[in-house]
Amino acid sequence: MRVDPAFWAGRRVLLTGHTGFKGAWAALWLARMGARVTGLALDPDQDPALFNLAGVGELIDSRIVDLRDAAAVDAALAGDEAEVVLHLAAQPIVRTAIADPVMTLASNVMGTAHLLQALRRQIGTLTAVLVVTSDKVYANAETGRAFSEADALGGKDPYSASKAATEIVAASFARSYFDKAGVPVATARGGNVIGGGDFSRDRLVADIVRAARAGEPVVLRHPEATRPWQHVLDCVAGYLVHAQALATRPATPRALNFGPRPGGPDVTVGELATLGVEALGARPWIHEPDPDSIEARSLAIDAGLARRTLGFESRLDAPLAVRLTMDWYRRQAAGEDARALCLEQIDGYEASA
């Protein structure tokens, strides 16, 4: 199964988090396919931001709303009749969550609850609701084993805990309200995403790009850590295909992992950083240990269920994902248009199917 432009053309889509990195890519892709997109999110929290660079607000109905404010969410959605909901809005940075756990829980857990509560009024028009969480939802004993969807949820740091709690909230709303109306509510657990246009603090690729543009070496806290890296196009394509299946196939799983192809080598933070600095011609990275960090050292997810049930798997391995990512940043820094760069890579991805 692949992203189907015919499914999305003219479809009313509610996309939360459209001002963020993955959300902006999703908005551009949906608008390109002719979807009627309404976006709900806070203003971008980074400068520059892909949302602004690519003029995403010109392509969709962009509404600046704080999902922590239940009344504001209700007011923003009053009178709307969405068919498909893609809930990407979140506080996504692990170190930010460690510094401000209450804000993170309010954004990720209560923000989801407020959205789902407001959507209960639209049950008559909804065909699918997809809540995006994270690969970090699992109780991670750091054995190196890849987690499958049946594994226990957990979270020893505030970000991971907030996403595991979001899974529970989404499942409880589904069972209590949406299932009986025939509206599937599911969660998508994506791996660590890289791609052009991410300028967030404390994200590996964004930190590499900032350091390279400043002529400085990027600092790595845990170069030995492993993550299930995937390009933003693979991740967003997985979300879109999952939503398509939910709307058209009743037996579609209600939770799916999206990550690298099975059998590929584990890629460490240091190895990915080396690929990045070499692609940019930047200075080699340096290691400054953070002994107080509670971030997981190893993380892997098994995306086999998405392959078996949707016929979907990631196409871009880590070296190719890094090349595409760094090419985007090089060309954008040279003056090329950010929206055109995104659409070119979306076109290339679709053509490779």
Bigger pLDDT: 330 vs 265: 330
- Can you list the positions of beta strands (E) in 88-166? 128-132
pLDDT of 83: 98
State how far the Cα of 3 lies from the Cα of 29, in Å rounded to an integer: 10
Residue-wise pLDDT tens digits, 251-307: 999 999 999 877 666 788 898 899 889 888 888 999 988 766 666 667 788 999 999
Tell me which of 28-37, 67-76, 170-179, 259-268 is least confident. Answer: 259-268
Note whether 318 and 275 are within 8 A (CB). yes
pLDDT of 296: 63
Distances, alpha carbon 126 to alpha carbons 15, 179, 182, 196, 310, in Å: 13, 12, 9, 32, 21
Bigger pLDDT: 189 vs 146: 189
Is pLDDT at 173 greater than 80 in this prediction? yes
Note whether 170 and 21 are within 8 A (CB). no
Q: Cα–chain-centroid distance for residue 140? A: 20
Residue-wise pLDDT tens digits, 47-95: 899 999 999 999 999 999 999 999 999 999 998 899 999 999 999 988 8
Q: 201 is written with which tokens?
A: 């603090």
Contacts of 176 (CB under 8 A, 6+ apart): none
State how far the Cα of 327 lies from the Cα of 341, in Å rounded to an integer: 9
* Among 104, 131, 126, residue whose Cα is nearest residue 115: 131
State how far the Cα of 124 lies from the Cα of 83, in Å rounded to an integer: 9
State how far the Cα of 148 lies from the Cα of 135, in Å rounded to an integer: 10
Question: Regarding beta strands 226-227 and 267-268, do their DSSP bridges make them parallel or antiparallel, or are they unpaired?
Answer: antiparallel
pLDDT of 265: 63
pLDDT of 1: 86
Distances, alpha carbon 5 to alpha carbons 12, 39, 188, 338, in Å: 13, 19, 20, 22
Q: For residue 280, what is the enclosing H or E element? A: helix 269-280
User: Into which CATH architecture does domain 5-194+228-263+295-316 fall?
Assistant: 3-Layer(aba) Sandwich (3.40)
pLDDT of 293: 67
The mean pLDDT of the chain is 93
- Can you list the positions of beta strands (E) in the chain? 12-16, 36-41, 61-64, 84-87, 128-132, 185-190, 192-194, 219-220, 226-227, 229-231, 255-258, 267-268, 286-287
State how far the Cα of 314 lies from the Cα of 231, in Å rounded to an integer: 8
